[in-house]
């Protein structure tokens, strides 16, 4: 989940030229990696944490951890932090 209020305050800030929102860039990165069906990116209302020059994101697999993604952050690293941990096989 990505905070829509934070995204609107930044007016973009992500992508190659910094003109796109975090949700849009994450969706594009998932699609390019062929993982679009594994994860969904949903833009929601305010999540309650309002960082300066950053967007709040939360993974549904780790709801207790909020991630403040700074403007211009590397999307691949953000996706790695938000992705669910790989299932361990016995």
pLDDT, tens only, 55-80: 999 988 888 889 999 998 888 888 88
The pLDDT of residue 90 is above 70: no
The pLDDT of residue 14 is above 60: yes
**Side-chain half-sphere CA neighbours of 84 within 13 A:** 10
Question: 29 lies in a domain?
Answer: yes
Q: What is the mean pLDDT of residues 11-17?
A: 81
Question: 87 lies in a domain?
Answer: no
How many whole angstroms separate alpha carbon 72 and alpha carbon 85?
A: 24
Question: 85 lies in a domain?
Answer: no
How many structural domains comprise the chain?
A: 1
Instruction: Quote the pTM value.
Output: 0.80
Question: 11 lies in a domain?
Answer: yes
Closest CA to 41 of 66, 18, 58: 58
Domain that holds residue 50: 2-80
């Amino acid at each position: 989940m990505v905070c829509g209020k934070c995204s609107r305050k930044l007016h973009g800030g992500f992508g190659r030229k910094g003109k796109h929102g975090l949700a849009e860039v994450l969706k594009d990165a998932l699609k390019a990696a062929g993982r679009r069906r594994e994860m969904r990116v949903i833009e929601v209302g305010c999540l309650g944490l309002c960082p300066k020059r950053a967007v709040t994101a939360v993974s549904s697999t780790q709801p207790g951890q909020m991630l403040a993604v700074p403007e211009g952050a590397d999307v691949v690293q953000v996706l790695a932090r938000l992705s669910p941990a790989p299932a361990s096989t016995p």
